Amino acid sequence: MRYAELQPGMVAVIGLPLDENSSFLHGAAQAPAKIRKVLLDGSSNLCAESGLDLGTHPGWRDLGDVQLGSPEAPLAQIESAVAGVLERGARLLSLGGDHSVTYPVLRAFSRYYPNLTVLHLDAHPDLYDELDGNRYSHACPFARVMEEGLVRRLVQAGIRTLNPHQRQQARRFGVEVLEMKDWRGELPALDGPLYLSLDLDVLDPAFAPGVSHHEPGGLSVREVLRILQRLEVPLVGADIVELNPLRDVVDMTAKVAAKFYKELVARMLG
């Protein structure tokens, strides 16, 4: 990857085209290319709602996809690629891929940000100890993160599939879970530095049909944008995961992902 282009304080975007750890359906590996395509398709501009124009701002680079050429070790390859960005002093937006990518990303972040807070927006808590015999499933990344003590604090919002096992896991690891049934539009006070993990199925399927696991009763696009725009602590990294272009309708969900892409890069630059 073109790490030499990065200077401290810049924002790097990398694609993580991995869906080997998906359950139910595959397709998320196609997401980074699809998000880039709709971002640049000419149907809208590159301005974030803050007014920052990514089309003219020199402070960010899209470094392309991590080449996952070794099927037996994609998580290690992702961790190494992320470390290459962070050692340059840059901030990072990762485009998944399924949610399993967040575990190696946070393994790298933990070396540079030992007191990291994670805000996780998702329909699912992703705290399974294992799923279908796979401890690295996209349903398990935050169990691995918390077992290894990679972050200081994990706050989850939008959750609406908390079963007894995952509820027990949340208690075990001290995870702060804001279930959707209790959502009143406000997050607890967050500490920095902050990492945001944004699973697109946090959205109600009406706004995001292009995901593998439709879970009715979620957030709206505007509610998620409001969360992003009201963050008051330094945002040092983020990921957008679980777009499945094979299930999308006229690129609707890909366009939402591209919108979040712009807002997150602008937030990290700001």
Which residues are annotated binding-site positions for Mn(2+)? 99, 122, 124, 126, 199, 201
Instruction: For residues 143 and 126, give the distance between their C-alpha atoms in angstroms, rounded to a whole number.
Output: 7
Interior/surface letters 11-38, b for 16+ CB within 10 angstroms, e for the rest: bbbbbbbbbbbbeeeebbbbbbebbbeb
Closest to 170 in 3D by CA, of 150, 193, 145:
145
What does the DSSP assignment read for 185-213?
S-PPP--SSEEEEEEGGGB-TTT---BSS
> Locate tokens 């699912």: which residue?
124
Q: How far is CA 125 from CA 2, 212, 219, 229, 238, in A?
A: 34, 16, 15, 23, 17
Instruction: Say which residues have a Cβ less than 8 Å from residue 230's Cβ, sequence separation at least 6.
Output: none
What does the DSSP assignment read for 210-256?
-BSS--SS-B-HHHHHHHHHT--S-EEEEEEE-B-GGG-STTHHHHH
The CA angle 92-242-100, to the nearest 5 degrees, is 70
Residue 61 in 3-state DSSP?
strand
